[in-house]
Amino acid sequence: MSRFEEPQHSDFRRLNDSIGVDFRLWPHEIAQSRAHVRMLAERGIVTAKDAEALLAGLEAVEGELRDGRFASSDADEDIHMAIERRLTELAGAVGGRLHTARSRNDQVATDLALYTRERAAEAQAQLTHLMTTLLGRAEEHANWPLPGYTHLQRAQPVYLGHHLLAYFWMLARDRDRFAFTERQSRRLPLGAGALAGVNFDTDRQGLARELGFDAPVPNSIDAVSNRDFVLDYLAAAATCSTHLSRLGAELVLWSSAEFAFCELPDAWSSGSSIMPQKKNPDAAELLRAKAPRMVGHLAALHGVLHGLPLTYNKDLQEDKAHLFDAVDTLELTLAAATGMVAGVRFDRERMREAAGDELIAATDVADLLVRLGVPFREAHGAVAGLVRTALDSGRSLSQLSTQELAAHSQTLADHSEEYRAVLAQNSWLESKTSEGGTAAARLSEQLAAARATLDEGAAG
């Protein structure tokens, strides 16, 4: 019997059905169903005989799903109903007892929490792998100079190891965000029923322990309506993807002929359909392009939840499409970033040549004047004048005469030997001795701190 006199319209079925999206939740659905059956039997809500038949049927259904033999039916609205339908076909009428003391509302929320927890753990593992790769390349290139940039203009020289570690620390924060997401996914929704609880003396604490949750969600209304943990994953993924996009953008620039700082591995590059000489950094470009897609998923789910009345509404079905695509995209881009970082070849001489541009020592010259007692703003103006003189005459700063120095700063003219010592390339790098700076001693400290961070993550 049904309360409806008319069948559902075919277009409504296409709109309403989600099995094409949520099919991937089947391992979690099987796991929670097993735990649910065992709890029902322990509480005497179903007989031991019925529980045995249900567990045997679930094992058979799991085998079909694992082996790709599971046949969906046109009547399957989602993976939850599909599994129950197939269980009843295999086990008989007893299959109908599986849904005792359970609603699809708490069922779906539980599967999603299990899935999100699993993928948040995987994201942490992938981030650790990428961080390890970055740290290895930073150690390998600890003393390779290159220009640092602001506004995409040469600004101050740094060591390549120092530059690569900037991404390491971004990713360390990303890993912390996914660890938070994992913790937020450790409250069990199952047992909340449709919204108010169930009419049976169930054991939610036991279910939580069996399924690896810390405890049940304390409020049944919140249990079925909460999707914060999905937002947490999407927020972490959006920020992480933004970091990957910045890495991708630099790899694109650095591998261009105009920069020529590096060459990307063939395995992560593409050719041109018409220009045989081309080696395109397509993987790095896609790291850029995927980031706004991830931010879009986060914004879209905020839009779904915004103003949504409690408790369950069909709107919540949209959570899975956003989450699943974000998971797939993030895991693929993390793998791509790791592959590119591991295989990229840097051109030491080209970077050294670019870092040897004396104009990027201008700040060091200004700092020399400050150390000699000149106020910084006055020093800044004097050095700006020197730069203008050098550019207008097509010379470097070190080629300016003592008389030309005096025209802008008598203090510099009086200390011309110190001025010329500052313009020696190594001094630009090794003068940055503040904590977190690029000087070799500080970089060595940072490498040790990065190694310790990796070890802490592995221990956690």
| Segment 211-249, tens digit of pLDDT | 999 999 999 999 999 999 999 999 999 999 999 999 999
Supply φ then ψ for residue 177, to 5 degrees.
Answer: -65, -40
pLDDT band at 426 (very low <50, low <70, confident <90, very high): low
Q: Which residue bears the tokens 């993030």?
A: 330
Question: Tokens 């005792």, residue?
Answer: 100
| Residues 133, 339 contacting (CB under 8 angstroms) | no
Distance (Å, rounded) from C-alpha 203 to C-alpha 285? 51
For 101, left (φ over 0), alpha (ψ -120 to 50), or beta? left
- Dihedral, 363, 368, 374, 380 alpha carbons, nearest 10: -10
What is the model's pLDDT at position 135?
98
Report residue 2's pLDDT band, with 50, 70 and 90 as the boundaries.
low
Average pLDDT over the chain reads: 93
Instruction: From the candidates 2, 10, 151, 306, give the one annotated as an active-site residue.
Output: 151
Task: Give me the pLDDT at residue 16, please.
Answer: 65
Q: Write the pLDDT tens digit of every residue in 180-215.
A: 999 999 999 999 999 999 999 999 999 999 999 999
**151 counts as catalytic:** yes
Asked if omega into 311 is within 30° of 0 (cis), the reply is yes
Residue 269 contacts residue 282 (beta carbons within 8 Å):
yes
Q: What is the pLDDT of residues 298-328, one digit of tens each?
A: 999 999 999 999 999 999 999 999 999 999 9
Q: What is the pLDDT of residue 284?
A: 96
Beta-strand relationship, 345-346 and 187-188: unpaired
Residue 420 pLDDT class (50, 70, 90 cuts): confident
What's the rounded Cα separation, in Å, for the pair 100 and 244? Answer: 46
* Confidence at residue 276, expressed as pLDDT on a 0 to 100 scale: 66
d(CA 405, CA 367): 16
Place of tokens 């870092």: 355
Q: Please state, in angstroms and rounded to a whole number, the distance separating the CA atoms of residues 79 and 94.
A: 19
How much is the pLDDT for 458?
A: 65
Residue 138 has pLDDT above 90, yes or no: yes
Beta strand pairing status for 215-216 and 187-188? parallel
Tokens of 263: 């060459």
Q: Residues 370-396: what's their mean pLDDT? A: 90
pLDDT tier for residue 362 given thresholds of 50, 70 and 90: confident
Distances (CA, A) of 338 to 41, 271, 325, 342: 48, 21, 20, 6
As a whole number of angstroms, the distance between CA 281 and CA 268 comes to 7
Alpha-carbon torsion angle 175, 180, 181, 185, nearest 10: 140
Query: Which range, of 85-89, 249-253, 321-325, 367-371, averages the lowest pLDDT?
Result: 367-371
Tell me whether residue 233 is exposed, middle or buried, using C-beta atoms within 10 angstroms of its C-beta: 0 to 12, 13 to 18, 19 or more. Answer: buried
Confidence check: pLDDT of 451 > 80? yes
The rounded distance, in Å, linking the Cα atoms of 97 and 48 is: 12
Confidence of residue 155 (pLDDT cuts 50, 70, 90): confident
pLDDT for 8:
75
pTM passes above 0.75? yes
Catalytic residue among 73, 272, 401, 427: 272
Mean pLDDT throughout 6-33? 85
- Residue 283 has what pLDDT? 96
- Provide, rounded to the nearest whole percent, the portion of the chain with pLDDT above 70: 97
Q: Can 272 be counted among the known catalytic residues?
A: yes
DSSP E strand boundaries for 51-173: 145-150, 153-159
Question: Which of 20, 30, 96 minimizes the C-alpha distance to 62?
Answer: 30
Arithmetic mean of pLDDT, 282-305: 97
Segment 347-361 shows an average pLDDT of 89
